[in-house]
Structure 1
Amino acid sequence: MIEDIARKIIFDIKPYVPGKPIEEVERELGIKDVIKMASNENPFGPSPRALEAMREALHKISMYPDGNCFYLKDMLAEMLFVEPDNLVVGNGSDEILKLLAEAFLDPGDEIVIAQPSFSEYEFVGKIMGANCVFVPLKDFTHDLESMGRAVTEKTKIVFICNPNNPTGTIVTKAETDDFLKQLDPRVLVVFDEAYYEYVEDEDYPQSLDYVGEGQNVIVLRTFSKIYGLAGQRIGYGIAKPDIISALHRVREPFNVNLLAQVAALAAVEDQEHLEKSIQGNREGKDFLFSWFEKKGINYVPTQANFIFLQVGVDSQEVFQEMMKLGVIVRTGDIFGHPDFIRITVGTMQENRRFTECLEKVLRNQKAKL
């Protein structure tokens, strides 16, 4: 039996379950015109410059990509006011999470994670045999004070998802400064900032300052969200050179494909598309917030491109009924909130369709009670 030869720890790992793909829903239900508001993708798509860059590079795909991502790192270094040796590029920031675990965790080490938060932190920790210490959110936000108290001599890594997935909340600069001051400097802090570009709160910490101060931190960002390149799988981390060097020791060669690299380079240069995406998200949030308040639906104010809202009935039933109407959402039960759903802010057309469908589903669900 496979259980006799596989590593025992892997049977304690819950596989990641992504948002349901549009193609799968259309195939299973025999419907068309499905919209996906489940995986926090950019509804405005990638930069036209990124698409053109990939088209122009297609003739090169018989060649291996640049394993060092030289040109992309050079541009990112200039944009972020860091040096290229402060950067690592990965096959999505998910890969960098796995590299961190492989480079820094031994069996029996501890990692500290907010709950609920991004499930990949638990996944990469358990792969390496680390023990996960979960600290409940406070008012849907990381409780940094309690997370600090959860640190022991066995703690190797603390994960801070900022803004937090699934709640969209942030920890402030003052809270983060206090947390780092009291933390054992040997503990590595991972600031996962996948939704960094969407944040508008002035109290948001500028985490690259901690890197510049030489602290034991790494900041993760991605091209999957606001840059609209989720399908190309490319993200990056910023840290002091010795942390980056450790990650390169466990990084696979040619881990970032050629088309992803050229697309990311072009996307960084297209500030117009970035601003369009930010403005579209802002308008979408305002519309949805207003609708929720009008309908008496509780929601968590977000600094990201998704909203965590309380539907008041079984989220799995809402998910199934919304899917029949051609709208894919994310259930809250996987985050420990069975009467919540998480939705991506879409285009205005998608947002209006979502509200119309949700109103119909909730009316039908409540009629059953």
Structure 2
Amino acid sequence: MVAEKMVRKAIMNIKPYVPGKPIEEVKRELGLDKVIKLASNENPLGTSPTAVEKMQERLERAHIYPDGNAYSLRAKLSSKLEVAQDQLIFGNGSDELLAYLGQTFIKSDDEVIMAETTFSEYEFTTNLMGGNLIKVPLKDYKHDLEEMVAAITEQTKMIFVCNPNNPTGTIVTSKEVEEFLEQVPDDVVVVFDEAYYEYVTNDDYPETIDYLSDYDNLIILRTFSKAYGLSGLRIGYGISNPELIDYLKRVRQPFNVNEIAQVGAYSSLDDKKHLEKTLEYNNQGKEYLYQQFEELGLDYIPTESNFIIVDVEESNDQIFDKLLKEGVIIRSLSSFGYQTKIRVTVGLPEENKAFIEALKKVL
């Protein structure tokens, strides 16, 4: 084809990201009136009411460009995290920040290390820039940091660690991370993707911000999409030393984070009750689903996030299709190499119950 001759070779290896099915699409396709979505790890409580009110007020200024430097949000977040304002960068979701990382650091034939089963956008970023992926298998469904260190060569430019990991919900501990960082060369960029940071209850989870003063090659990614319920507005942020942040800013698009997203994120940080309620519902939902899986005799992976992997002991694609017909959207993990495992987002109590009832019916 003529088109194939036009494009960069690097993109030939890229597979378009396939998101969880939208609710309206399932309703249209199957003629259903009621559908629940437990596929994309969204906050089932929705957005903070306080944030919604503030965003509605700001709509009157939709004709004005947003603050490109996100001054107000930057000031509030730097105070909350106890980092300097020039240690922060904001993106149109963490996905945009991942693209910035590739554009800033990865050149053709650089090696990038990631887990074999983890968030697919690391692979996208690497392939987009023509880098070479080095995938390290998980160990007990966790990142094998020892093997990731062993995989480092002179061509290694970046290492991605998703903690908690998507899709397994597992974490690497403070001790493991400290030993890992001590062994990584200082010219290799280490990216900790902590999209599900707020959900973690394990006391051994590392506070990676504390490592920034000792490791200049460390970048931390977090988001307002999950616990703060702003998935539809796309806003995430990165934390690092001022020098690395400055380099990332050089590839940042002007006005990349819209005004409504900035206001929503700012106001969400003020609504502590909504976040507390979110985490409470999530912890209760996890325990309910654990109990139900045990009663059904299904193996699952204990999680530190707002989703759970469960082995349905049948074709996960078939279970996915059957659950769709029952009005429940989950995530089949066949694309991750699992043939009988599904991932389900922890929902509201009534959603969790509906999922279990549907699962019992289709198994």
Question: Any idea what SS the aligned residue of 1:309 has?
Answer: strand
Residue 134 of structure 1 corresponds to which residue in structure 2? 135
Structure 2 runs not aligned, ≥5 long: none
Question: Any idea what SS the aligned residue of 1:218 has?
Answer: strand
Q: Distance in 2 between matches of 1:172 and 1:231?
A: 31
What letter matches 1:96 in structure 2?
L
What letter matches 1:138 in structure 2?
K
Q: Distance in 1 between matches of 2:341 and 2:26?
A: 21
Q: C-alpha deviations, 1:75-104, integer Å up to 9, x for none?
A: 000000001100000000110010000000
Question: Any idea what SS the aligned residue of 2:250 has?
Answer: helix
Q: Distance in 1 between matches of 2:20 and 2:275?
A: 24
Question: Any idea what SS the aligned residue of 2:212 has?
Answer: helix
Question: Any idea what SS the aligned residue of 1:343 has?
Answer: strand
Q: Where does 1:321-332 land on structure 2 (aligned, <5 Å)?
A: 321-332=322-333
Residue 152 of structure 2 corresponds to which residue in structure 1? 151
Question: Any idea what SS the aligned residue of 1:250 has?
Answer: coil
Q: C-alpha deviations, 1:151-171, integer Å up to 9, x for none?
A: 111111100000000000000
Question: Any idea what SS the aligned residue of 1:133 has?
Answer: strand
What letter matches 1:257 in structure 2?
N
What letter matches 1:184 in structure 2?
P
Does residue 1:271 correspond to 2:272, yes or no? yes
Does residue 1:107 correspond to 2:108, yes or no? yes
- Partners of 2:186 and 2:215 within 8 A in 1: no
Q: Distance in 2 between matches of 1:12 and 1:213?
A: 36
Residue 98 of structure 1 corresponds to which residue in structure 2? 99
RMSD (Å) for aligned C-alpha atoms: 0.6
Does residue 1:4 correspond to 2:2, yes or no? no
Change (3 A) 1:214 1:150: closer
Residue 48 of structure 1 corresponds to which residue in structure 2? 49
Cα deviation, residue 214, structure 1: 4.1
Moved more, 181-190 or 157-166: 181-190
- Partners of 2:190 and 2:217 within 8 A in 1: yes
Q: Distance in 2 between matches of 1:332 and 1:12?
A: 20
Q: Where does 1:84-233 land on structure 2 (aligned, <5 Å)?
A: 84-233=85-234
What letter matches 2:130 in structure 1?
G
Question: Any idea what SS the aligned residue of 2:7 has?
Answer: coil
Question: Any idea what SS the aligned residue of 1:191 has?
Answer: strand
Cα deviation, residue 108, structure 1: 0.3
Q: TM-score, normalised by structure 1?
A: 0.97
Residue 57 of structure 1 corresponds to which residue in structure 2? 58
Residue 26 of structure 1 corresponds to which residue in structure 2? 27
Does residue 1:361 correspond to 2:356, yes or no? no
Question: Any idea what SS the aligned residue of 1:212 has?
Answer: coil
Q: Distance in 1 between matches of 2:335 and 2:54?
A: 38
Residue 341 of structure 2 corresponds to which residue in structure 1? 340
- Partners of 2:41 and 2:306 within 8 A in 1: yes
What letter matches 1:340 in structure 2?
K
Q: Distance in 1 between matches of 2:241 and 2:49?
A: 33
Work out the percentage of aligned pairs sharing the same amino acid: 53
Question: Any idea what SS the aligned residue of 1:200 has?
Answer: coil
Q: Distance in 1 between matches of 2:116 and 2:46?
A: 30
What letter matches 2:203 in structure 1?
E
Q: C-alpha deviations, 1:57-85, integer Å up to 9, x for none?
A: 00100010000011101100000000110
Q: C-alpha deviations, 1:170-191, integer Å up to 9, x for none?
A: 0000000000111111111000
- Partners of 2:316 and 2:339 within 8 A in 1: yes
Q: C-alpha deviations, 1:200-226, integer Å up to 9, x for none?
A: 000000000111334311110000000
Residue 365 of structure 1 corresponds to which residue in structure 2? none
Q: Distance in 2 between matches of 1:214 and 1:135?
A: 23
Question: Any idea what SS the aligned residue of 1:312 has?
Answer: coil
Question: Any idea what SS the aligned residue of 1:156 has?
Answer: strand
What letter matches 1:339 in structure 2?
T
Q: Distance in 2 between matches of 1:308 and 1:14?
A: 23
Q: Where does 1:247-286 land on structure 2 (aligned, <5 Å)?
A: 247-286=248-287
Residue 367 of structure 1 corresponds to which residue in structure 2? none
Does residue 1:351 correspond to 2:352, yes or no? yes
What letter matches 2:74 in structure 1?
K
Q: Distance in 2 between matches of 1:334 and 1:2?
A: 27
Q: C-alpha deviations, 1:1-36, integer Å up to 9, x for none?
A: 110111112111011100000011001111111000
Structure 1 runs not aligned, ≥5 long: 363-369
Q: Distance in 2 between matches of 1:80 and 1:213?
A: 17
Q: TM-score, normalised by structure 2?
A: 0.99
Displacement over 2 Å in runs of 4+:
212-215
- Partners of 2:320 and 2:331 within 8 A in 1: yes
Question: Any idea what SS the aligned residue of 2:115 has?
Answer: strand
Q: Distance in 2 between matches of 1:326 and 1:53?
A: 33
Q: Distance in 1 between matches of 2:211 and 2:94?
A: 19
